[in-house]
Amino acid sequence: MKGPLRPLLRLARRLRRAEWSIRARMTMLATMVGVVVCAITVFLILSHRHNHETDHRLRHVYGADLELVHRFAHRPVPPVIEVEEVAATQLVHPSGQVVSASLRVLGQPRMATFVPSRRPSFTDRRVCDVPGFPGRCMLVAAMWVPTHTGDLIAYSVLPDPPWYVSEALLAQLLTASAIILVVVGLTTHHLVGRTLRPVEAMTAELAEITATDLGHRVPVPPHHDEIRYLATVVNDTLELLEAALQRERRFTSEASHDLRTPITGARLRLEEALMDPDVVDWPGMAKDLLNDVERQQAIADDILTLARLDADRAAEHERTDLAALARAEIGRRPPGRVPVHADLEPEVFVTCDRLLMGRLLTNLLDNAQRHATTAVTVAVRVEDGSGVLVVADDGAGIAPEHRELVFERFARLPESRARDPKGTGLGLAICREIAHAHHGSLTVEDPPRRGTCLVLRLPLAD
């Protein structure tokens, strides 16, 4: 079948390369499949009808030979014989001499040379260029005919039916195939267009969406199918995009504000100093400017850290004992205002970037020591199939309505601003981004007694 299908395969490749619509391509593809199915069906029907017609004609030629057997079993054979329902017939002596024949082949040599194998055997063959029928192929049946003068061979012929059996049958099949192909093409065109109508509506709605107006949502079709799933995913993506854009706008605004404050203060100090340079305390001025620069640098470093976490979450992770990492970070810290107590369950293995996880633990400890009253507690344990790191302090705590706000970028509660005026408001935001980069979570949970309890959960290493 590869040879006849090769043109269709070439056409299919051209359709893939052509810049046609999905409706046109699907219509053409369905029509091509219909052509193949119709061609195979027509071939099978014609083959069946051809075999049936061939058997029908062979029954006629064998019937003619049997009629000769009955006719001349007890009568002499005349030189001219006629038998209905066949094109011609001959009685031939085994030596090859034509004894009797019908008018169509009278005076012609024998119509066939094959002989049945044994008496009273019979056989048939398809023979072309039969005497009396030049250029045509005939069905020839041969049978032994016993006569009172000896055995003869009867040959009767009928034309071999053409491959299409008859012009009327071929015309009917071609007409039916054309009607079927038209119906298939129109039906496919309509159904594909109806199926793609929600996609066209989604496309039109998406075309209205701009960077300044992300409030549009694509219509969700009522049927529960792949297109509905696509529309749902598109709307979810738009919501995430809108939230991310709003977050970035808020981040940019707040970063600009936090950077503008030390820059404005430094500029005012310099302008005042230049107005009356002789009375300026230049060492004090330099110290104040250094504080402003350090605050700008801290903000810039935290912004760069967040940018790297947003852009690349594929850092090299390694299997790490979370308890050993926490113990090492606690050991590096200089003595602070309040002590740090450790309750570390050994061999809690997670897969993480040790540098980023160290940065997270440092930020959490700095925050806890800044707000604690008497002590900070660090705990590591396994809980519900996850590695858990807890950093708790006994400070004033965080109100439930503010427990998500503290993870926003540049978000600082009044108490935090009072305790650390130089803070950037990015510490906990960086910690949560590090947790998300490790497929974990960082949340504020209810403490056992009072204070703040920050809980990091990470998947255990395999």
Instruction: Compute the CA torsion angle 205, 208, 212, 213 (nearest 10 deg).
Output: -40
- Which residues lie closer than 8 Å to 405 by C-beta, 6 or more apart? 411, 413
pLDDT at 126: 94
* For range 201-230, the mean pLDDT: 78
Rounded-to-integer distance, Cα 392 and Cα 291, Å: 30
The mean per-residue pLDDT over the stretch 36-65 comes to 94
pLDDT band at 1; cut points 50, 70, 90? very low
Residues 175 and 275 in one domain: no
Residues 267, 165: one domain? no
Give the angle 230-232-236 at the CA atoms, nearest 5°: 115
As a whole number of angstroms, the distance between CA 462 and CA 435 comes to 18
pLDDT bucket at 202, cuts 50 / 70 / 90: confident
**Is residue 259 located within the same domain as residue 372?**
no
Residue 88 belongs to a domain: yes
Residue 201 burial by CB count (10 A; 0-12/13-18/19+): exposed, middle or buried? middle
pTM: predicted TM-score of the whole model, two decimal places: 0.52
Q: Would residue 217 count as lying in a domain?
A: no
For the packed helices 427-437 and 282-311, what is the interaxial angle rounded to 10 degrees? 20
Q: What is the pLDDT averaged over residues 434-460?
A: 88
Distance CA 105, CA 47 (A): 31
Average pLDDT over residues 299-307: 69
Given 155, 179, 207, the domain boundary residue is 207
Buried b (16+ CB within 10 A) or exposed e, 232-265: eebbeebeeebeeeeeeeebeebbeebbeebeee
Lowest-confidence pick of 235-239, 276-280, 406-410, 417-421: 417-421
Q: For residue 219, is it within any domain?
A: no
Q: Is residue 51 part of a domain?
A: yes
| Beta-carbon count within 10 A of 449 CB | 8
Which pLDDT value is given to residue 12? 62
Measured CA to CA, the distance from residue 455 to residue 440 in angstroms comes to 10
Give residue 414's domain range.
315-459
Query: pLDDT grade, residue 324 (50/70/90)?
Result: very high
Q: What is the number of domains present in the chain? A: 3
Q: Which of 252, 284, 308 is the last residue of a domain?
A: 308
Give the pLDDT band of residue 417 (cuts 50, 70, 90): low
**CATH, residue 257:** 1.10.287.130
Question: What does the alpha-carbon distance between residue 173 and residue 49 come to, in Å, rounded to a whole number?
Answer: 12
Sequence-distant (≥ 6) Cβ neighbours of residue 20 within 8 angstroms: 28
**Which residue would you say has higher pLDDT here, 89 or 259?**
89
Whether residue 329 sits in one domain with residue 246: no
Check residue 310 and give its pLDDT: 60
